[in-house]
Amino acid sequence: MIRRIFHNGPILTERGFEHGLRVVVEDGCIVEVAAGGAQEADETIDLGGRHLAPGFIDIQVNGGGGVLFNNSPTTEAIATIGRAHRRFGTTAFLPTLISDTDAAMERAISAVRHAITQGVPGVLGIHLEGPYLAPARKGTHEEAMFRVPDARDAERATSLGNGITLITLAPERVPAVILRLMAQRGAILCAGHTAASCAEIEAGLRAGITGFTHLFNAMSPLQGREPGAVGAALADAESWCGVIVDGAHVHPTSLRVALAAKPRGKVILVTDAMPMVGSADPSFRLYDQTITAIDGVVRNATGALAGSALDMASAVRNTVALVGVPLDEACRMASQYPARFLGLDARMGRIAPGCRADLVAFDEDVRIHRTWIAGEAD
């Protein structure tokens, strides 16, 4: 048994960042959070006044470290993406496949299955963003890849077996019986890239949708006589909403509206990150076109937003600076709340006894000092 003790820094608990606590980790699991400093241990980690929070959980990671998952649906690519994002505090993530062919989907699911089996750090499952999307809200997705799923498609999309499957889809494009089948087979369903009316979204919620992918982006807007997907999302108290807080995707006032409308804990941070995160190369190829980040904003050849160059540490920092959310709550939006959305909050996303020791230490400017996954340092 390996015993590690973290001390000498503010620790994020349910009450906020608290001083004078120690966190005791044994064999990768938190066993104690209590008042006091260091005790006898195999390893003592002096935080030197840095904050200690649960590691960040990112449910939408298209790429990182110069790699796009669509272009390299392999276990090695997943490991590279994970290493790139870990530098910015992400200790758990869903590799995300943008709309692609059936064969590419099968390769991606197989790669994630193998990555989990091989213990690639941080991999929780897969996010399939499409191909069951609406052409009118396609964003940078290739419309030629879109299709209406049948039972065979549903079985393929939910075939991972050893991890979480999250599927972003347009509910108006997917028969209710298929939504129910996907949910029955264990998938978490999110509405996204959708032109649905409010009524169509509400029908999707009844059929098994529990979340919304990058709220406000690539979905029908809130208007006075037609609330659209955004209005349905904000009005529904039970569903979760992912938001990209990079200063480009959503105006800070819109984010404050979402936080005011949704119950606490229902808005979570995502990056929608592309390969330039953790890489010096600002460009990559998708669907035979060049995508480039200019001044931190990622756009395709037509000028449309195409994912982001955002990392989770920056998302937390921006949520504090742009939206005015307290640091402890911004950290929960990056850890505890996504864990709850994924059904993992009993063992992840909190610094509490019984949880896996996925931890991140950072300074007052949310610059990452070090991360731990199951108690093992980077």
> Which of the following is catalytic: 272, 311, 345, 358?
272
- Element (H or E) spanning 288, and its range? none
Helix axes 176-184, 198-207, angle to 10 degrees: 40
Q: Answer for the pair 54, 12: CB distance below 8 angstroms, yes or no.
A: yes
Q: For residue 207, which of 239, 175, 234 has the smallest C-alpha distance?
A: 175
What is the four-CA torsion angle of 39, 22, 53, 50, rounded to 10 degrees? -80
β-bridge mates for residue 261, sequence order:
none
Look-up of token digits 């994020």: 12
Look-up of token digits 């105006």: 251
272 annotated active-site: yes
- Largest Cα span, the chain: 65
| H helix intervals, 8-140 | 75-86, 102-117
- Give me the active site residues, please: 272
